[in-house]
Chains A and B, each alone.
Chain A
């Protein structure tokens, strides 16, 4: 696989590069000239606390702290003189100002009363609860009822944050076995004399392999190990500021002597080992490279699968769109078919209904003309009824046909210029006989010379409908038609009667199809029930309006507002 090959090459390159860097740095340290300037001699308390500070077989003071101090002293040009003693002796000497500096002193508030300290911790330490290998003790609460081996006088035993106070505060009861040093603590623990033992972190790390013990996750009482000085000694200010600065620099630089010492004394068990930072660097590099390749491989695969998903989704979408388009096209074809079917139906209905009506109306009219011989009054009356009904049926058919056409959007308006007076006169002439029959006066006022550009036939149809209704629903008085020009823009047509009027509750249904209002009234009126509905539909086509005012029992007034110039798009 390509991936594996690339990966191997990368690792080899990374290791080579890192080795080269290690070599250069080692050479640098090897040839770095040591300039010793003996201006100041520091008296340093030396005691035995391996690995932090101790005297080796050759009689030299070694360990983490002395070597750290020596490293700094080398740079500052200080000379060091070790004054050997026990821990307690050393502290006494510090108090008496017979030594200048003590290494590895845990910083506590109580101790600041007696000594001055650096501000920076040279090392951190804390108490750890150790257990015998295989023991199940893991948390503080597990210590309840247990035997605990501790070192007498240690900060981790008797300090403010020591184990005695901690367990006491938590209400955990355990038996403390106080011993002289940490070695005894580990010895008793591995021997089974105690359930757990408490030592500091550094001792624990250094000695864990020598005893049959292991660390629990219980850690407590963290504290800084610092350099301590006699209280208010004259050198303190200088020493503290110098040491603080060096410590900070050393801690910040992961390649510094500090970490080398840490490795050698604290984590390294005194054996030669590849410096940890080298291992860390190599491992991290390999890790990073592996991570990079893994991540990029995963990302690539993810992107690929995502792309595939998107592509699939996209294709599906396109397919669906295509399907939908076809469906819509088919639906459209079906609708067009239906539309044609409807038109055909309308045409055919018109034809089929008119054909028999043609003979009914034709023969009735023929007989009434007495072309086939005289008819008596009763025959005339009955034939007139046949003619009237046939006409009514014809109107119904025409109205239904009209409405169907309008609703189907099949109406082609015939827009022409005409004089409104002429149109009104046409209407009046055709309804005059009806009005006369009912003894009604037909009054109309139309100014001459108003030219309207609209559909003459349709406007006539609407006015005819309103006037017919007015005549139909009136038994006395007069029917008035008033035409006015408004703002030289709109035509106002009012049709007024003194008829039966319209009830308030009927106003709403007035313009709805097949709503002949006043059904309960004593008299039924002829009409298709489609007239006003059709009129409204026609007026909508002509961008015109219809409104009505009425008082029941007193009459009605219909008002039309028709633009004199019809515009296609308004």
Chain B
């Protein structure tokens, strides 16, 4: 069992990810905004972070940068999950410090395969 921090503001999508992760036997820590996400990352030091990019308050880029800037969290893998499909977003996300990039909508099969790479 791994501890996964999901930072996602949409409750239904949060529920979907929680369902999949729990079914796979992981512990899910949830945050619905960037600031809480960064705080929880620092406090809980999860094994993996699933980061939505468009978030209220502190967005995914900034939250990632903050997490990468803290000694205790700098090595935690972060998978960005975004609905952005604009050119350059992928580069921007990776430049912010994300480990990988997943585009919404998430197909459970594909999602599970990606998760297995990190936990």
Which A residues have a C-beta under 8 Å from some C-beta of B?
A: 343, 346-347, 350-351, 354-363, 365-366, 369, 371, 390, 394, 398, 401, 405, 410-412
Contacts and interface: CB of A to CB of B under 8 A. Distances in A.
B23 A371 contact: yes
B54 interface: yes
Given A350-B83, A365-B109, 14 more contacts: A351-B54, A354-B105, A355-B104, A356-B12, A357-B104, A358-B104, A359-B105, A361-B106, A362-B13, A362-B105, A362-B106, A362-B107, A394-B105, A405-B86
A45 B20 CA distance: 151
B106 A358 contact: yes
Contacts of A360: 105
A355 B86 contact: no
Nearest to B103: A354
Interface string B88-119: 10000000000000001111110100000000
A358 B105 contact: yes
Contact of A357 (B85, B87, B105): B105
A356 to B, nearest CB: 8
Contacts of A369: 108-109
Nearest to B54: A351
A256 to B, nearest CB: 102
B85 A412 contact: no
29 contacts: A346-B86, A347-B86, A350-B84, A351-B84, A354-B83, A354-B105, A355-B13, A356-B12, A357-B104, A357-B105, A358-B10, A358-B13, A358-B83, A359-B12, A359-B15, A359-B16, A360-B105, A361-B107, A362-B107, A365-B107, A365-B108, A365-B109, A366-B16, A371-B19, A390-B105, A394-B105, A398-B85, A401-B85, A410-B87
Give the interface centre of A346, A362, A401 by most chain B CB atoms within 10 Å.
A362
Interface in B1-56: 10, 12-13, 15-16, 19-20, 23, 54
Nearest to B11: A359
Nearest to B111: A362
A360 B105 CA distance: 9
Contacts of B13: 355, 358-359, 362
Contacts of A359: 10, 12-13, 15-16, 105
Given A354-B105, A355-B104, A394-B105, A362 B16 contact: yes
A355 B88 CA distance: 20
Give the interface centre of A357, A365, A394, A410 by most chain B CB atoms within 10 Å.
A365
A111 B11 CA distance: 135
A371 B16 CA distance: 12
Contacts of A366: 16, 19-20, 108
Contacts of B16: 358-359, 362-363, 366
A411 B84 CA distance: 15
Nearest to A398: B85
Contacts of B107: 361-362, 365
Contacts of A355: 10, 13, 83, 104
Contacts of B15: 359
B33 to A, nearest CB: 16
A349 to B, nearest CB: 10
Nearest to A401: B85
A412 B91 CA distance: 13
A390 B106 CA distance: 12
B85 to A, nearest CB: 5
Contacts of A401: 85
Give the interface centre of B13, B16, B84, B104 by most chain A CB atoms within 10 Å.
B104
A355 B16 CA distance: 12
Contacts of A405: 86-87
A412 B87 contact: yes
A358 B105 CA distance: 4
A350 B85 contact: yes
B104 A354 contact: yes
A361 B85 contact: no
A403 B16 CA distance: 31
A167 B104 CA distance: 117
Contacts of B87: 405, 410-412
A350 B82 CA distance: 10
A359 B104 CA distance: 9
